[in-house]
Amino acid sequence: MVTSVQREMINAKTCGHIFVCTKKTESECFQRMLFGASKTYAADVLSVKAGDLLFLLNVDSNVLHGIFRAKSDGKQNIVQEAWKGKYPYQVEVELMGDVQKIENAKGLLKKLGIEWHKTLTDDMAQRLLAFFSPKENELSKQGAAKQPWGLLTPEKVAVGKEKKTSEAEAESENEKPPLEATTLWDYPRQSYGKKPKGNNKYPGVTPAFVIWNMIQRYTLPGDLVLDPMCGSGTTLDVCKEEGRKAICYDIAPPPDRPEIIQNDARKIPLPDNYVDMIFVDSPYGDNIRYNEHPDCIGKISSETEAFYDELEKVMKECYRVLKPGKVIGWLIGDQWVKKKFTPVGFNVYQRLCKYFETVDIICVVRRGQASHTGIWYNRARRFNFFLRGFKYLFIMRKAPAEALDKGKRTIKWAYYDRNKNSST
């Protein structure tokens, strides 16, 4: 017997989500009828609404379990002690019929173009449902003709060229960057999604992907992000789309961005310990004409100590307004001009270390540079110099108020046999 809620789902657009578990966590998912995720995927879990279709992927056994329905919206700490607090972003679930399993699920999801944790489009959810047995599926008991996915079978999953095109257009509107797992970040363009983030014609514009990754890792929806040198407003645009509050300053804001407040970053008009994250994409020297404001730090050569002295004033203010335990990301590049190299990144890092502790150092590949042309590549080889290929992203943390010196750490390293897989 199909309930009224299930019948409503059949007639409505299908929204789905895939949660992930391991061999260690799977049993608790079923015992509690609760799916969870870490802070990294908080935004994805919080987007789940009661009634959404859910699936559970065991990444160890490579099995996809289904079909589930969300009993609650995604929330934080529905069951605080679940998984010993490791996965606080949770949703209550119920089964739609008997538990079904799909083996070798990762390969199937890859073929269907489905990524874990990402919200499934209506078409993706329908294609995935086609691989679950209609005999076991509670949603199928009313007959295939009444179901939007009822006539689909694994053999009919192949999508025509026109449909693929429309899907690609729909996905580009809702595109999200990948959540980076390594310290090398490489993005093909400045922005993502249908709505532009910042102005890609602005001098020294920040890649929106960098800011997106920062706020996904180090903030929660509703947190306050500060960008004291925001240029064309990339940080502001990313935060708006991701449900974060933002305060953005610039010494010479664009006239078409009234949300950006005119202010010198060397004196930030905010209280102490006020913001949850800071992102700074500062000038790298006087190599770019950012604006005509006489006090712009970008008018000072990075070959002089004065340049770093002025940036340090910004660092002091950032330290003051950042909450203890919170993170600042500082994007910066080196300089090579007229046969002289200046390690701008190292010099900035040394100053940052006076105030913050290091979380990590990211290498962001430089693209869209005026020097990234065949002529400049030829010159670099002929005259024996290197073009700038990357920027540093220094991720630093303001020490927590309760930080204590715990002395020397003891680390248990995992050693692997290098000859284990070698032929004899």
| pLDDT over 70 (residue 146) | no
Share the mean pLDDT of the chain. 83
pLDDT in tens, 18-51: 999 999 999 999 999 999 998 878 888 888 899 8
For residue 328, the surrounding DSSP H or E stretch is strand 322-332
Cβ pair 281, 231 in contact under 8 A: yes
| pLDDT over 80 (residue 173) | no
pLDDT in tens, 77-106: 999 999 999 999 999 999 988 888 898 888
pLDDT average, residue stretch 141-165: 41
Burial profile 232-243: b = 16 or more Cβ within 10 angstroms, e = fewer:
bbbbbbbbeebe
| pLDDT over 60 (residue 8) | no
pLDDT at 156: 43
| pLDDT over 50 (residue 152) | no
- Distance, in Å, from the CA atom of 8 to the CA atom of 193, rounded to the nearest integer, reads 31
234-241 and 208-218 are packed helices; what angle lies between their axes, rounded to 10 degrees? 50
Q: What is the four-CA torsion angle of 217, 211, 74, 119, rounded to 10 degrees? A: -110
Number of neighbouring beta carbons within 10 Å of residue 76 = 14
Q: Which of 160-174, 341-355, 373-387 has the highest mean pLDDT?
A: 341-355
Please report the beta strands in 31-169, taking only residues with DSSP state E, as ranges in sequence order.
Answer: 34-37, 53-58, 63-70, 75-76, 89-102
Number of helices (H) and strands (E) in the chain: give both, helices first.
11, 16
pLDDT at 133: 65
For residue 224, the surrounding DSSP H or E stretch is strand 224-227
Residues of the chain above pLDDT 70, percent: 83
pLDDT in tens, 375-386: 888 888 888 888
Answer with the residue of higher pLDDT: 119 or 100.
Answer: 100
**Which DSSP category does 40 fall into?**
G
Cβ pair 167, 127 in contact under 8 A: no
pLDDT at 288: 77
Q: What is the value of pTM for the model shown?
A: 0.72
- Distance, in Å, from the CA atom of 74 to the CA atom of 405, rounded to the nearest integer, reads 38
pLDDT at 6: 41
Domains observed in the chain? 4-173 (3.10.590.10), 184-397 (3.40.50.150)
